[in-house]
Structure 1
Amino acid sequence: MNSIDRDTTHREHNQHRMSRRSLLRTAGGLAAAGALGGAATVLTRGSANAAPATFAHPGALHAYGELNRAKVRVAAGDDPWLSGWQRITANSHSASTWKANPQATIIRGGTGENYGILYNDIHAAYQNALRWKIAGTSANGDAARDILNAWSAKLTTVTGNADRFLAAGIYGYQFANAAELMRGYSGFDLDRFKTMMLNVFYPLNNQFLTGHNDACITNYWANWDLCNMNSILAIGILCDDGAKYDQAVNYFKTGAGNGSIGHAVPFLYDSEGLAQWQESGRDQGHTIMGMGQMGAFCEMAWNQGDDLYGYDSNRFMKAAQYVAKYNLGQDVPFTKYTWGTGQSCAYSEQTVISSGSRGQLRPVWDILHYHYAGRRKLSVPYITAMAEKVRPEGGGGDYGSTSGGFDQLGFGTVMYAK
């Protein structure tokens, strides 16, 4: 039995869950195990109320089958994989000559901000890791390893004003994903990297989800919860930590803050197949960021056997259709949204959907299109149309030099095309 078959077998006892491996087989994993130069691995762990009985590796944003498909399709020169691959190789962050600039302290918000150093290095590590995984170029693998090792040897603190929680969340889940790709690479100090994630990033992630910076539970927008949920989930996968995986998945389902599915998607319009997103009355830039954040969360869980994409009758899919439809220039319904702000939960409301940043293009749509239309064979015309507008997706450095251009790891076309 090869590694892909083993990975399938250990999931199939969960009959109530859709098997991502079964769908992968029907979608067509295109080459035999070993084509990536290393088979998928699983680590057995004790039972938990949400975590898988075993963790699959690689198993965060990118599982073995997706990586293998990208490798085979790019080598064959097939589109859209090839055009997606060319977005990676054209990005300066993917150069094997990139040198890390590690800091002991990262500050986001307030005096002395330097967090741009961190997100640029993370995206360089991630992009170099993809180049190694897809093309097998050792120079890129070495570059990714060296960036990750440099930061785990030096970083001790993430701080700043409330924005420190954004830094811990966004860069935590991105860092963990880069490391997951480099697991087992010669010279990569995975244990030291795990220690950094557990000691520097996780405490802030946990502090935010449990205390929300001592503010009213509804004060912070959905993305604040979501990025910290993503970091905890990715750290749980990287560290084979079922308790952290459980914490993140259970928060998605029942959490009190705005990142949980019922709060992030507060209003359903089932007759139209749509649902309102929590930040829709704020602006479309942050709303589309939410599509990327929740999409990443669902994909990481999917790669461990949990179908959160379809949770609560495809609640997230309906929200993504809503956001896509509005950003394609079409009308959508809107229900007055109210919430409490600050420490005293002062009343606030939004009565109309915001047109701010309407139509903004971010690399968040192909992951959703290829899941719902590709794996699930569902009709998601607005998601599909948005994906077609952005395709082929780039990544960090392709959508501006400020932090918003680095909120998503990107490259969904090459990584998720079916």
Structure 2
Amino acid sequence: MINTVNSSIGRSGRAPATDRAGQSPRHHPVSSAPANGGFAPDVPHRGGKDHDMARRSAEAPPRRLRTRLAAALAAVTLAVPAGLTVGTPAASAATVGSITGYGGKCLDVAGAASANGTQVQLWSCNGSAAQQWTVADDGTIRALGKCLDVAAAGTANGTKVQIYDCNGTGAQLWSANGTQLVNAGSGKCADATGPSSADGTPVQIWTCTGAANQSWTLPGGGTTPPPSGDFTHPGVMVSRGQLDFVRGRVQAGAQPWTSAFNQMMSSRYASLSRTPAPRPVVECGSYSNPNNGCTDEREDAIAAYTDALAWYITGDSRYAQKAIQIMDAWSATITSHTGSNAPLQTGWAGSVWPRAAEIIRYTYSSWPNVNRFSTMLRNVYLPVVRNGSGSNGNWELTMMEAAVGISVFLEDRSAYNAAVTRFLNRTRAFIYLPSDGPLPYTVPGSGLDTPAEIIGYWHDQSTFVAGLAQETCRDFTHTGYGISAISHVAETSRIQGQDLYPQVGERLRHALGFHSRYQLGEAPPSWLCDGSLTRGLGPITEVGYNALANRLGNAMTNTQTLTLQQRPAGTNNLFVAWETVTHADNLN
């Protein structure tokens, strides 16, 4: 599905062909950029809110005619679904809408057929009638005039879930237990077979396990509940099981891990002669002006993480001691960040420090000053990042990555839960899906209340397709920062027992595929950023590709091509580093 402003002003063009009747075009995931890409400066940008625009082909204006665009849009007529007021979130009954499940896919009636016995399955969300469910007060869940039903009132594991004429039996009564859908007649849970999130995956009943393939989000609410109990360590972006897997692969000389590890070890970040360069105040302005300690802080954090990985993989304690030296130097010195880019700088460095610290704290024998490092994260970093930013989406997503990682290291459940909530809201506002409506969703309270404001925030893009990001028409580099942060937070939360892929997986999959496609060289259509793209996605595809393709079974042709092409993925010298080492084909 493609959504375009219904006006002679704005980007426009022809939508890609759909893959299935009535469904949105499928963009196979991927991304790209230099393996050791440099710093792309950022400047503040006002935040965003919630909406969508209707379709129609139109001539695109020059990209920066904001004033003219706003004036023209004041008189624009939008083809908006009945009941939707442009400028505010769509108002719909809380009990009617899509039900999302494993991998962010929607509960779908196969072939949109209303015949009794039609299989219920997972399919990419498209907003069609086959995915519109009414959760009724009587305990039934209905679509296409039929009820969600367990075939033949069965109770055995693997019994088909289908639609059938409503009859009031226990086979058609469902209750929500947390995020599980429990069938009254069988006492079993709705379950994505496999588990798989591939389109067409049949839904069955199965003994309730609490697994991710039994987690569902109902219309009007219900996100995966925060985990309770202890945090898992090491547990910021990479787990002990993942580290063990990598160590085994490198020791065996297997590829691509060995070449990626060798690349890491030959980089300046792994040097045992490195001298950390901390300072009390790190001052960072737009476009690195001024740059007083900004590069030093980011690169020392990456060096500490590099050394932590090197320690675990090789067992050479010199690398653990070097990581500790770097972290101790900064925790003894830094007091604050200043300058217009301070929030982003704090997010970048704050995303990497906890990765290094988690590995050292929980796998090395001694770190006497660990409490001082914890105090640094709590007092210098967390207060800056925890409340986010109204700038371009990559800012807040990176800041939430830092907040989540720091919260795990500090074992601060309240800070963790708040960061995840803000992260989910910003992810929805950063990557467009047709189910958002004719205009992209915007963060409530952002001040983006008109089509002109929303289009301006999306860098004058007025045609919206699945996977398009808020900064696509700015450049792929900043877009890649946001995509990378989304994958990092999802990984950390998964390790901590909270699977966020049902909420963010579909957006991440489409964003990876959409941007990989053009990063690989395909010419953009005229409706996309006036037919001109600034590429340079960066080494950011490994984590998302591993999760969505390798673990969850999604076909991601473009993402796979780009991921393989850019291996071994290095570092962007900001907060992305060595992800072929840690996440290539790593199912742990």
- Give yes or no for contact 2:349–2:575 (8 Å, CA) kept in 1: no
- 1:318 aligns with 510
Please show how residues 57-96 of structure 1 align to structure 2 within 5 Å.
Answer: 57-96=233-272
Q: Distance in 2 between matches of 1:353 and 1:246?
A: 41
Aligned-pair distance for 1:302? 1.5
- 2:314 aligns with 135
Q: Distance in 2 between matches of 1:132 and 1:353?
A: 47
Moved more, 60-69 or 287-296: 287-296
- 1:346 aligns with none
Answer yes or no: is 1:253 the counterpart of 2:416.
no
- 1:192 aligns with 372
- Which amino acid is 1:121 matched to? D
User: SS at the partner of 2:232?
Assistant: strand
Q: Distance in 1 between matches of 2:341 and 2:350?
A: 13
- Which amino acid is 1:177 matched to? R
* Residues 113-136 of structure 1, C-alpha deviations (whole Å, 9 max, x = no match): 221111121111111111001111
- 1:411 aligns with 578
Aligned-pair distance for 1:274? 3.8
* Residues 11-58 of structure 1, C-alpha deviations (whole Å, 9 max, x = no match): xx98759xxxx99xxxxxxxxxxxxxxxxxxxxxxxx95244321000
- Give yes or no for contact 1:94–1:127 (8 Å, CA) kept in 2: yes
Larger helix proportion of the pair: 1
Q: Distance in 2 between matches of 1:393 and 1:111?
A: 29
Aligned-pair distance for 1:312? 5.4
- 1:178 aligns with 356
Q: Which runs of 5+ in 2 are unaligned?
A: 1-176, 182-193, 196-223, 437-463
Q: Distance in 2 between matches of 1:149 and 1:266?
A: 42
Correspondence for 1:101 among 277, 287, 297 = 277
- Give yes or no for contact 1:51–1:245 (8 Å, CA) kept in 2: no
Q: Distance in 2 between matches of 1:306 and 1:354?
A: 39
- Give yes or no for contact 1:288–1:362 (8 Å, CA) kept in 2: yes
- Which amino acid is 2:351 matched to? Y
Aligned-pair distance for 1:334? 8.8
Q: % of aligned pairs identical?
A: 27
- Which amino acid is 2:552 matched to? R
- Which amino acid is 2:275 matched to? K
Aligned-pair distance for 1:241? 0.6
Correspondence for 2:469 among 277, 283, 286 = 277
Correspondence for 1:240 among 398, 411, 426 = 411
Correspondence for 1:264 among 425, 430, 433 = 430
Answer yes or no: is 1:290 the counterpart of 2:482.
yes
What count of residue pairs does the alignment treat as equivalent? 337
Q: Distance in 2 between matches of 1:369 and 1:353?
A: 27
* Residues 228-276 of structure 1, C-alpha deviations (whole Å, 9 max, x = no match): 111110111000111111011111223xxxxx12210134399x99421
Q: Distance in 2 between matches of 1:370 and 1:62?
A: 12
Q: Distance in 2 between matches of 1:294 and 1:205?
A: 15
Q: Distance in 2 between matches of 1:291 and 1:335?
A: 22
- Give yes or no for contact 1:87–1:393 (8 Å, CA) kept in 2: no
* Residues 270-317 of structure 1, C-alpha deviations (whole Å, 9 max, x = no match): 9x9942111111111111222222211211112112222331562221
- Give yes or no for contact 1:274–1:321 (8 Å, CA) kept in 2: no
Alignment TM-score, normalising by the size of structure 2 = 0.54
* Residues 61-105 of structure 1, C-alpha deviations (whole Å, 9 max, x = no match): 110111000111101111111111111111121122222122111
- 1:38 aligns with none
Please show how residues 87-166 of structure 1 align to structure 2 within 5 Å.
Answer: 87-109=263-285, 110-111=289-290, 113-160=292-339, 162-166=340-344
- 1:35 aligns with none
> Pairwise CA RMSD of aligned residues?
2.7
- Which amino acid is 2:297 matched to? L
- Give yes or no for contact 2:476–2:537 (8 Å, CA) kept in 1: no
Aligned-pair distance for 1:353? 6.2
- Give yes or no for contact 1:310–1:317 (8 Å, CA) kept in 2: no
Q: Distance in 1 between matches of 2:264 and 2:578?
A: 7
Q: Distance in 1 between matches of 2:485 and 2:527?
A: 23
Q: Which runs of 5+ in 1 are unaligned?
A: 1-12, 24-47, 255-259, 337-350, 396-404
Give the structure, 1 or 2, with the largest relative contact order (CA under 8 Å, sep 6 or more): 2
- Give yes or no for contact 1:309–1:317 (8 Å, CA) kept in 2: no
- Give yes or no for contact 1:269–1:275 (8 Å, CA) kept in 2: no
- Give yes or no for contact 1:182–1:188 (8 Å, CA) kept in 2: no
User: SS at the partner of 1:74?
Assistant: helix
- Which amino acid is 2:308 matched to? A
Residues 237 and 333 of structure 1, relative CA distance in 2, 3 Å threshold? farther
Residues 354 and 333 of structure 1, relative CA distance in 2, 3 Å threshold? closer
- Give yes or no for contact 2:513–2:558 (8 Å, CA) kept in 1: yes
Aligned-pair distance for 1:192? 1.0
Aligned-pair distance for 1:365? 1.2
- Which amino acid is 1:176 matched to? P
Residues 16 and 89 of structure 1, relative CA distance in 2, 3 Å threshold? farther
Answer yes or no: is 1:226 the counterpart of 2:397.
yes
User: SS at the partner of 1:50?
Assistant: coil
Aligned-pair distance for 1:191? 1.3
Please show how residues 12-27 of structure 1 align to structure 2 within 5 Å.
Answer: 16=180
- Give yes or no for contact 2:546–2:584 (8 Å, CA) kept in 1: yes
Moved more, 136-145 or 50-59: 50-59
- Give yes or no for contact 1:365–1:387 (8 Å, CA) kept in 2: yes
Alignment TM-score, normalising by the size of structure 1 = 0.75
- 1:257 aligns with none
- Give yes or no for contact 1:230–1:293 (8 Å, CA) kept in 2: yes
- Which amino acid is 2:431 matched to? V
- 1:56 aligns with 232
Q: Distance in 2 between matches of 1:265 and 1:280?
A: 10
- Which amino acid is 1:298 matched to? A
Q: Distance in 1 between matches of 2:324 and 2:422?
A: 32
Aligned-pair distance for 1:156? 0.8
Tell me which stretches of 4 or more aligned residues in structure 1 moved more than 3 Å. 13-17, 267-270, 331-336, 351-354
Moved more, 318-327 or 230-239: 318-327
Aligned-pair distance for 1:183? 0.9
- Give yes or no for contact 1:132–1:138 (8 Å, CA) kept in 2: yes
Residues 313 and 225 of structure 1, relative CA distance in 2, 3 Å threshold? closer
- 1:306 aligns with 498
Q: Over alpha carbons, which structure has the higher Rg?
A: 2
Q: Distance in 1 between matches of 2:282 and 2:264?
A: 27
- 1:382 aligns with 558
